[in-house]
Amino acid sequence: MKIAVCVKHVPDATVHKRIDPETKRLDRSGESTLNPTDLNAVEEALRIKEAHGGEVVLVSLGPAKASDSLRKALAMGADRSVLVSDDAAAGSDLLGTARVLAAALEREGADLVLFGQASSDGDGAVLWAAVADRLRRPMISQVAALTVDAGSITGKRQTEHGYDVITAPLPAVAAVSDAINEPRYPSLKGIMGAKSKPQESLALADLGVAAESVGEAGSQTTVLELGPPPSRGNQITIEDDGSAAQKILDIVLERRLL
Amino acid sequence: MKALVFLEHYAGELEKGGLGALSKAASLGEAVGVVLGPGASEVAARAGAYGATKAYACEDDVLASPLPQPRVDALATLVQKTGADAVLFAASVLSADVAAGLAARLDAGLNWDVIDLSVNDGELVGKRPALGDTVLVDVGWKGGTKLALIRSGALDPVESGGVAEVELFETSFSDFATLAALVEQTQEEVTGPSIEEADIIVAGGRGLGSPEGFTMLEELAAALGGAVGATRAVVDAGWYPYSTQVGQTGKTVSPKLYIACGISGAIQHKVGMQGAGTIIAINKDPNAPIFDFCDIGVVGDLHQIVPKLTELVRASRA
């Protein structure tokens, strides 16, 4: 079984994120790391490989330095990585990103494509559905438990109303939730071994993707203006002296929130 | 502007999120509802009361299960048939997948996490908080069909009392779109409104001390007519169901009132609830980060305050 895991290199959680007012894009100059919920997808791929054999390939679109993040996932146990890195792809919206990833995934021809729950910088949590449509493959999202057998996958999807159990024949796309597993820490052996694992870097031309169909040129969405969020206004602090409950109710009634 | 609004229905009712998007679309131009699945036409008729002049319904059995890919086919058919300028979705597990699939299918721009829409000089503009709601971004679309995924709870349904003409339509399905199949559905027991729909949410975190602490919150929520939410930490610990999780890896909610009990206010939780109208935080730690972004900060023991508040609310409503 060949499993491809789509992962993203994102600004580290400790970095104060800002949007560059010039380019209106996220400033990615600071410390970056592997998107935290992608670790669950890598972990799930490794477990499937351990049970069924096969190969785990990481697929990513990002700057050249994303190879550092990919190495972390290789240290967990993934076999190799494919990074599509091209200046023309910078600033891609959902469409451009889906186009590039779908092209890279077509080239790999994996039986199963996995995504994590959401990127910590873009927060869209929709990419898999666009990629699945481009690949013309069945897709299951928000998967909290996944079973794989000879020719199909079965996923337990978490929804607003409960759980749906959905099955799909392979090849398929699945997006896992962070409830699916606890990602392993790389072992020292894994970290040392990762340095010699194949890390391929591709340009758009290698995938036959036209530069004008991605990046800012290929985006169908635009950022018009940046502004501060609406202020929360004056804050009230109440130290409880036994009357806090009454004070809360008074405020709630005064503001007509009931 | 002519906008199609994807209306999800559950247990025979149109969901509130979609109706909020419909009312907004009606305020900006022509609002057309879309309801899919067996029984759709009867449900679709109710869209008129929230501003739809027309509602399309497709009753195909392929659309019986809540799976996204056949819905992409149906909406793509309808965009072509109606020449709609925009398609609006209210965020949910299903709608997010349908919206992104449709974006890829139509090569159409999708803006997500949109909290408001307006038309400036004839162009659709969306408001979208980004980077943990530290920035408010005006987003636009270049051309083609404009797709927007509206943040849960951001737009309120407005009853206009109109009537929508319901038109049935047929669609074909892509070969790959019907490969996934629903084999089982388990509904979680929910009493009262779901957290996406509730105007009031009482949420609990580790500060509750134990899973039993949620009983106290359920009582307060019931008295207020609201729903109970939970942080990721307590859901991970198995104290409360995942369907109530508010935060980056759970639901994003925008109720009118959010009462955070024993919640420290980690960024993971903050991004899911900071769109609430009024935030009341009850925490015994005066240095908890939640006190930096709430409206009313109460420093004290929630085990004392919450039951007392429940009693007072009951008394005031009796």
Report CB contact under 8 Å: A244, B298.
yes
Strands A139-149 and A172-176: parallel
CATH architecture, domain A2-218: 3-Layer(aba) Sandwich (3.40)
B86-99 per-position pLDDT tens digit: 999 999 999 999 99
Span B163-189, mean pLDDT? 93
Span A165-186, mean pLDDT? 95
Cβ pairs A/B, distance under 8 A = 276
Q: The domain that contains B244 carries what CATH number?
A: 3.40.50.1220
Among candidates A172, A219, A232 on the partner chain, residue whose Cβ is nearest the Cβ of B142: A219
Report CB contact under 8 Å: B111, A37.
no
Report CB contact under 8 Å: A255, B297.
no
Other residues' Cβ atoms within 10 Å of the Cβ of residue B159:
10
Residues of chain B with C-beta less than 8 angstroms from the C-beta of A152: none
In 3-state terms, what secondary structure has residue A91?
coil
Indicate whether B154 and B12 sit together in one domain: yes
- Is pLDDT of A232 > 80? no
- Is pLDDT of B133 > 80? no
Least confident of A164-173, B72-81, B187-196, B299-308: B187-196
Residues found in chain B:
318
Rounded CA separation A217/A227 (Å): 24
Contacts of A114 (CB under 8 A, 6+ apart): A3, A4, A5, A6, A41, A44, A45, A173, A174, A175, A176
Q: Testing the interface with B: which of A12, A220, A254 to mutate, by most B Cβ within 10 A?
A: A220
Report CB contact under 8 Å: B109, A131.
no
Buried b (16+ CB within 10 A) or exposed e, B233-252: bbbeeebbebbbbbbbbbbb
Residues of chain B with C-beta less than 8 angstroms from the C-beta of A13: 267
- Is pLDDT of A167 > 90? yes
pLDDT confidence tier of residue B78, bands split at 50, 70 and 90: very high
Report CB contact under 8 Å: A160, B101.
no
Domain boundary among B132, B148, B178: B178
Shortest CA gap B109–chain A (Å):
4
- Is pLDDT of A180 > 70? yes
pLDDT confidence tier of residue A135, bands split at 50, 70 and 90: very high
Span A127-141, mean pLDDT? 98
pLDDT confidence tier of residue A227, bands split at 50, 70 and 90: confident
- Is pLDDT of B189 > 80? no
How confident is the model at residue B242, as a pLDDT?
Answer: 83
How confident is the model at residue B154, as a pLDDT?
Answer: 87
Radius of gyration of chain A (CA): 22
How confident is the model at residue A21, as a pLDDT?
Answer: 79
Among candidates B180, B249, B296 on the partner chain, residue whose Cβ is nearest the Cβ of A168: B180
Among candidates A130, A227, A236 on the partner chain, residue whose Cβ is nearest the Cβ of B100: A130
Among candidates B136, B257, B309 on the partner chain, residue whose Cβ is nearest the Cβ of A257: B257
Rounded CA separation A118/B288 (Å): 26
Indicate whether B53 and B146 sit together in one domain: yes
Indicate whether B144 and B215 sit together in one domain: no
Domain boundary among B113, B144, B178: B178
- Is pLDDT of A15 > 80? no
Q: Is residue B191 part of a domain?
A: no
What would the two tokens of residue A201 be?
């870097």
Indicate whether B135 and B207 sit together in one domain: no
Span B220-249, mean pLDDT? 90
Residues of chain A with C-beta less than 8 angstroms from the C-beta of B191: none
How confident is the model at residue B190, as a pLDDT?
Answer: 60
Rounded CA separation A154/B147 (Å): 30
Among candidates B72, B141, B295 on the partner chain, residue whose Cβ is nearest the Cβ of A220: B141
How confident is the model at residue B19, as a pLDDT?
Answer: 96
The overall average pLDDT reported for chain B is 93
Among candidates B10, B137, B305 on the partner chain, residue whose Cβ is nearest the Cβ of A161: B10
- Is pLDDT of B220 > 80? yes
Choice between A164 and B194, residue whose per-residue pLDDT is larger: A164
Q: Is residue B174 part of a domain?
A: yes
Shortest CA gap B167–chain A (Å):
27
Q: Into how many domains does chain B fold?
A: 2
In 3-state terms, what secondary structure has residue A250?
helix
Model-level pTM? 0.88
Residues of chain A with C-beta less than 8 angstroms from the C-beta of B103: 94-95, 98, 126, 130, 220
* Residues spanned by the domain of B59: 2-178
Nearest CA in chain A to B281: A237
Residues of chain A with C-beta less than 8 angstroms from the C-beta of B69: 132-133, 138-139
DSSP 8-state code for residue A51: H
- Is pLDDT of B17 > 70? yes
- Is pLDDT of B191 > 70? no
A200-219 per-position pLDDT tens digit: 999 999 999 999 999 999 99
> Looking at beta carbons, which pairs linking B234-240 to residues 24 or more positions away fall under 8 Å?
B234/B204, B234/B205, B234/B206, B234/B208, B236/A179, B237/B206, B237/B211, B238/B211, B239/B204, B239/B208, B239/B210, B239/B211, B239/B213, B239/B214, B240/B204, B240/B211, B240/B214
Report CB contact under 8 Å: B194, A161.
yes
Domain boundary among B130, B147, B178: B178
Residues of chain B with C-beta less than 8 angstroms from the C-beta of A132: 69, 101
DSSP 8-state code for residue A21: T
- Is pLDDT of B50 > 70? yes
How confident is the model at residue B62, as a pLDDT?
Answer: 97
Choice between A216 and A162, residue whose per-residue pLDDT is larger: A216
Q: Is residue B192 part of a domain?
A: no
B268-294 per-position pLDDT tens digit: 798 889 889 999 999 999 999 999 899
- Is pLDDT of B131 > 80? no
Q: The domain that contains B65 carries what CATH number?
A: 3.40.50.620
How confident is the model at residue B196, as a pLDDT?
Answer: 83
Q: Is residue B190 part of a domain?
A: no
Span A219-227, mean pLDDT? 91
Residues of chain B with C-beta less than 8 angstroms from the C-beta of A216: none
Q: Is residue B54 part of a domain?
A: yes
pLDDT above 70 covers a percentage of chain B that reads 98
Report CB contact under 8 Å: B67, A166.
yes
- Is pLDDT of B296 > 70? yes
Rounded CA separation B236/B240 (Å): 8
A65-110 per-position pLDDT tens digit: 999 999 999 999 999 999 999 999 998 999 999 999 999 999 999 9
Report CB contact under 8 Å: A220, B143.
yes
Q: Is residue B185 part of a domain?
A: no
Shortest CA gap A193–chain B (Å):
32
Residue with tokens 């190495």: A71
Q: Is residue B193 part of a domain?
A: no
Report CB contact under 8 Å: B175, A136.
yes
Span B10-31, mean pLDDT? 94
Indicate whether B213 and B307 sit together in one domain: yes
- Is pLDDT of A48 > 90? yes
pLDDT confidence tier of residue A20, bands split at 50, 70 and 90: confident
Shortest CA gap B65–chain A (Å):
10
